[in-house]
Structure 1
Amino acid sequence: MAEEPVRRVKVWDGWIRLVHWGIVSLIGISWVSINTGNAEAHYLSGYAVLTLLLFRVAWGVAGSDTARFSRFLRSPAMALRHLAHLRRREPDTEIGHNAAGGWMVLALLGLLLVQAGSGLFANHEPGFSYDAHGPLALTVSDATSAWLTGVHHLTFNLILAAAALHVLAVAAYAALKGQDLVGPMITGFKSLPARLAPPRMGSPVLAAAFLAAAALTVWGITRLG
């Protein structure tokens, strides 16, 4: 039986890849800075993460097809059925996130938003000078700030656990299904059956406007304290 013809298709725009690899890098910077007592680098990396997250939410509503939550979020039952076939070796025909991967994306975004949001109110991080605090820490009570600081620390550990699960899943897809999920997130392209219509890419002008608005919003938040 003849193999189905394939073609190289752009599935991930540069904006999605910027968010993905940008947050990976910034989480590393955040971890190093918290362990070396570099408060300025820690807060700046947190602001950058929040900027990318706000952009990602907006792009998930009005961006490229593969970025939109409405396109890749499917029912939990579909996600479970997809995972049930994890050991089945087969070609990758998913244009964007698969049914299980979509929920992992949502979980990671949620955890990152909690992490960045709680960091705005965090106070007296270990190893920092006494007056180091998030830009909104002084707008709430000491008890609330202390509680949110605890949330900030706990959520970071949950992010590490979720990231480890994500990496294990990517490795499992490569080993069990023979599917490369990393390459397309680097290049933006993957080989798909020629019968599948390529996804629509979003407007770069709109994306730039969303990113600028996100950065301006975060800048404004840092000036509220």
Structure 2
Amino acid sequence: MTLEDSLMQSRTTRMAVWDKLIRLFHWSLLAAVVISFYTTKTTGQPFLFPIEVHAQSGYIIIGLLVFRFIWGLVGSPYARFSTFLYGPKKAAGYAKALITRRAPHYASHNPVGGWMVVLLLVSLGFQALSGLFLSDDIFFQAPLYGLLGPSVGDVLARLHSLNSDLLLILIGLHLVGLVWHTLQGERLVPAMLTGMKRFSNAPADEKPAAYRAQRRYAIGALLVAAGVSGWLWFY
């Protein structure tokens, strides 16, 4: 290790960014999405994964999204939407700086990444919610099937299929962004595992380190999310 590397390492600081609940949410959502996509390819071959498994993964996704919405309002600083959602001018400026490799580092999601997160959550939300109104016309009917009438159900079925393609595109863009930031020295995957990020300079969105999310909010968010998923699962 050179003297310059030693000096750089000594100036690097570790900062707690992602709380335990956000990390649990992230990896649980990833697992549920993988199961959801996988079961669409294996259902009925023959019944390796019945359609109910696909639906149950959707119920879990809905519960996770409910939790994320609540935690985005009352959770730890870097998990809040108000921390990582920026206006179009800020996002465009960051995108330009990112291309030229001059973008500042952010503790939470950067101005472009924040909106990508929102697009993913919205698309996932629509996918899971629209699935509540569908049926395979043979073995399975979702909890809210028929509530909006057959014509609306047919439209939702088509949109459900189209949105699954959109989701794949958004996930692909998310992975491209992850690789791009990794090549520029941002270790985003380890940060989502440990909750810690390393910075050689103060991040552009630094928040007070002394802040702690209130436990009652965490318990409340978890209970609401579990209640929603549980109701759908046993409906």
**TM-score, normalised with respect to structure 1:** 0.88
Residues 29, 61 of structure 2: 8 Å contact kept:
yes
d(CA) in 2 for partners of 1:193 and 1:150? 49
d(CA) in 2 for partners of 1:19 and 1:133? 28
Residues 92, 179 of structure 1: 8 Å contact kept:
no
User: In the alignment, what sits opposite 2:192?
Assistant: 185
Provide the alpha-carbon RMSD of the alignment.
Answer: 2.4
CA 1:199–1:136: 2 relative to 1, 3 Å? farther
Of residues 158, 176, 189, the one that matches 2:166 is: 158
Q: CA deviation at 1:194?
A: 7.0
User: In the alignment, what sits opposite 1:207?
Assistant: 218
User: In the alignment, what sits opposite 2:121?
Assistant: 109
CA 1:219–1:21: 2 relative to 1, 3 Å? same
Q: CA deviation at 1:90?
A: 6.0
User: In the alignment, what sits opposite 1:19?
Assistant: 25
Structure 2 unmatched ranges of 5 or more: 44-49
Aligned-residue sequence identity (percent) comes to: 32
Q: CA deviation at 1:199?
A: 7.1
Count residues with an aligned counterpart.
219
Of residues 86, 89, 92, the one that matches 1:80 is: 92
Q: CA deviation at 1:92?
A: 6.2
Amino acid at match of 2:225: A
CA 1:188–1:91: 2 relative to 1, 3 Å? farther
CA 1:185–1:18: 2 relative to 1, 3 Å? same
Residues 56, 233 of structure 2: 8 Å contact kept:
no
Matched, 1:167 2:175: yes
Report 1:1-225 matches (<5 A).
5-37=11-43, 38-89=50-101, 93-124=105-136, 130-175=138-183, 177-193=184-200, 197-198=208-209, 200-221=211-232
d(CA) in 1 for partners of 2:169 and 2:92? 20
Amino acid at match of 1:26: A
Structure 1 unmatched ranges of 5 or more: none
Amino acid at match of 2:220: A
CA 1:92–1:82: 2 relative to 1, 3 Å? closer
d(CA) in 1 for partners of 2:210 and 2:107? 7
What is the CA deviation profile of residues 90-117 of structure 1, one whole-angstrom value per residue up to 9, with x for unaligned ones? 6963121111111111111111110111
Q: CA deviation at 1:88?
A: 4.2
